[in-house]
Homo-oligomer: A and B are copies of this chain.
Amino acid sequence: MKLTRKPLQVNSVIEKLWEYRQPGKTELVSIENTTGRFLGEAIIAKSDVPAFDKSPYDGFAIRAEDTIQASQEHSIEFEVIDQIGAGTITQKKVQQFQAIRIMTGTQIPFGCDAVIMIELVKEISRDGKSFIQLKRRMKTGENISFQGEDIKAETLLVKKGTKMNPGIQSLLATFGYHQVAVMQKPKIGVLATGDELLDVNEPLAPGRIRDSNSYMVMEQIKRSGAEAIYYGRIADSFAATYAAINKAISEVDMLITIGGVSVGDFDYMPEVYEALGAEILCNKMAMRPGSVTTIANYAGKLLYGLSGNPSACYVGFELYTRPMIRHLLGSDKPFAKKVKAILDTDFPKVNPFTRFVRSKLYAHETKIYVSPIGMDKSNIIYSLAFANSLLILPGGTRGYTKGMEVEVLLLEDQEGSEAY
C-alpha cells in the first residue's frame, strides 16, 4: 500500500493533534515524593503569613505609649518581667514600664505594640531584677511583623501544572500540604521496529546496529515529565508489528513506534495502522528532519510513528509528542519556549522546508546567540548530547548568514509557551 502523502505545516499538525488532547489526571502524594512532579492543584495560602504578629528581631516587647518621654537626654527604664523564645508564648501581660524579652520570630505578647531591638538598650540588673534603659521614642507597631502582611489566607500562590521546585516545596510545607495533588505521569510506550536492531547488551554483528533511538526517546519522555515504558524491538513483519502495537496501546496513554514509516518495502507501519483501524492524522510534515513522522488516532489515543533516523526521531518527539505530554501534566504552556537569538555562523544550505537544527544557545554579554551543531558529518551522531535548543530556519530559496536574527526552541526549559 502506497499512501498519498500531503505535507502539513507544523502548526497545522498541532492543530489536528489538539483535537485529541485529554485532560490529565491527578493523584495525591506525600510532600517527600513531589520532586520532578507537576502540581495537580493550585497552592492556596491556608493561613495568614505571619500567622500571628511577631518580632523580626531579638529584642524587648513593650507598650509604645510608655516611650513618649524617652530621648537622648532622658532614658526610660523598663522592668523585664519575662523572657520567651521562638515557639513559646507568655501568659504575662506587661503593665506600664514593663518589657518582655523576645527572640526573632516570637509572637508579640498580648498588650505590647512595639519591639525595641536589643542593640538599642542598656541592660542592667538590680535587686535580682532585670531592667533595660531606652533613649528613644517608639511608634505603635514599630518592629512588628503583622499577621498576614506577607500573605493573606486564601491567596492563590502557585497554579496547577507548575513543576516542583525548592520555592514551591517551602510553600507546601508552610501551609501544611503534607499531601498534595500532582498530575499523574502519562504513560508513554516505546516500540522499536527494524530487523537490524540489536539490544544494548548484544555484541555488534555484521550489518546490525544497537537500538539507540529507543533509549534516546525514553529519556526525552522522562525529561518531559512522563513515564516511559519500553516494549522492546519488534521484527519487520506485519503480524509482529500489528500484535505488538495492539497490545501496547491498551496499556499506555500514547504509543511511540520508531522506524517503519518510510516508503520502503519493509515499512509496514502504514499497513498496520490501516488494519488497526487507526485514523491517520498526518504522515508527511513540511519540515526537515522528521518529514515522514506519522501520527494516528487509535481509539482516542495518539500513535506516533517516528522516523528511525535519530535526528528526525528526536525532533518529531519534541515538536509533536512533548506538547501533548505537557498538556496531560496540566500545563497551560505546553509548547517549547521560543526565543530570538543571533545566528553566530553562516548557514548557506538552502531548503524549501522549515528546518529544525539542533543547536547550542548561549549568552554573550547581554545578548543571546545560537550556534547550529552537528553540521559536520563527523559529529552528527553525538551533537545531540550537546544540543540545548532547536534552531528554526524557515524554508525558502536563500541560506542564512551570521548575525541574522533567528528563532530557537529551548529543549531544557520548564516554563514553556502557549504556542510554537
Partner of A381, one of B49, B206, B209, B210: B49
9 A-B pairs besides A54-B207, A339-B363 with CB distance below 8 A are A50-B209, A88-B196, A107-B207, A164-B219, A167-B384, A168-B219, A169-B216, A173-B216, A174-B209
Q: What is the count of identical protomers in the complex?
A: 2
A177 in contact with B200 (CB, 8 Å): yes
Stretch at the interface among A1-9, A132-140, A149-157, A275-283: A149-157
Nearest neighbor of A166 in chain B, beta-carbon distance: B219
Measured between beta carbons, the chain B residues less than 8 angstroms from A266 are: 85-86, 103
Give the interface segment out of A61-69, A248-256, A365-373: A365-373
Identity of the chain B residue whose Cβ is nearest the Cβ of A263 in the assembled complex: B58
A171 within 8 A of partner (CB): yes
Which of B88, B210, B262 sits near A173, CB closer than 8 Å? B210
A125 contacts the other chain (CB 8 A): no
From B35, B167, B208, contact of A385 by CB (8 A)? B167
User: Is A51 an interface residue when CB atoms closer than 8 A count as contact?
Assistant: yes
CA distance A174 to B342 in the complex (A): 33
**CB-based nearest B residue for A310:** B170
The interface bits of chain A over 332-374 (1 if a CB of B lies within 8 angstroms of the residue's CB, else 0) are 0000000111100000000000000000000101111000000
Quick one: closest B residue to A56, CB to CB?
Answer: B309
Bound complex: CA A368 to CA B150 (Å): 30
Query: How many angstroms between the C-alpha atoms of A327 and B171 in the bound complex?
Result: 29
Check if A387 is an interface residue, CB within 8 A of chain B: yes
Interface string of A367-397 (1 = CB under 8 A from B): 1100000000111111111110000000000
Q: Which 5 A-B pairs have the closest CB atoms?
A: A87-B196, A167-B384, A167-B385, A86-B196, A87-B195
Distance in angstroms between the alpha carbons of A86 and B262 in the assembled complex: 13
How distant is A271 from chain B, measured CB to nearest CB, in Å? Answer: 16
* B-chain residues with CB within 8 Å of residue A76 when the two chains form the complex: none
Name A380's contact: one of B150, B157, B195, B339 (CB within 8 Å). B150
A262-B58 in contact given A207-B106, A219-B165 (Cβ < 8 Å): yes
CB distance from A416 to the nearest CB of B (A): 13
A313: nearest chain-B partner, CB-CB = B170
Flag whether A20 is at the interface (Cβ < 8 A).
Answer: no
Separation of A216 and B263 alpha carbons in the complex (Å) = 53
Give A63-104 as 1s and 0s: 1 = Cβ < 8 Å from B's Cβ atoms: 000000000000000000001011111000000000000011
Whether A104 touches B220, Cβ cut-off 8 Å, given contacts A150-B378, A173-B215, is: no
A264 within 8 Å of B (CB atoms):
yes
Please report the C-alpha to C-alpha distance between residue A157 and residue B168 in the assembled complex, in whole angstroms. Answer: 37
- Minimum CB distance partner of A217 in chain B: B166
Q: Which of A40-65 contact B (CB under 8 A)?
A: 47, 49-52, 54, 58
Cα separation A210 to B220 with both chains bound (whole Å):
37
In the complex, what residues of B have CB within 8 A of residue A103's CB?
264-266
- The answer, yes or no, to whether A194 is at the interface (CB within 8 Å) is yes
- For the complex, give the distance between the alpha carbons of A417 and B310 in Å: 30
Instruction: Tell me, yes or no, whether A402 is within 8 Å of chain B by CB.
Output: no
Q: In A94-135, which residues have CB < 8 Å from any B CB?
A: 103-107
- Whether the Cβ atoms of A35 and B219 lie closer than 8 Å is yes
CB<8 Å pairs between A and B, sample of 24 = A32-B230, A58-B264, A58-B265, A85-B196, A85-B266, A86-B207, A87-B194, A87-B207, A103-B264, A106-B207, A149-B378, A150-B377, A157-B382, A158-B382, A158-B385, A166-B384, A167-B216, A167-B314, A173-B210, A173-B211, A174-B381, A175-B210, A340-B363, A412-B414
Residue A321, interface by CB 8 Å: no
Q: Are A365 and B340 in contact (CB under 8 A)?
A: yes
Residue of B nearest to A201 (CB): B178
- In the complex, how many angstroms separate the beta carbon of A291 from the nearest chain B beta carbon? 14
Asked whether A10 is an interface residue with its Cβ less than 8 Å from the other chain, the reply is no
Most buried by B among A31, A214, A382, A414: A382
Tell whether A294 is near chain B: CB-to-CB under 8 Å: no
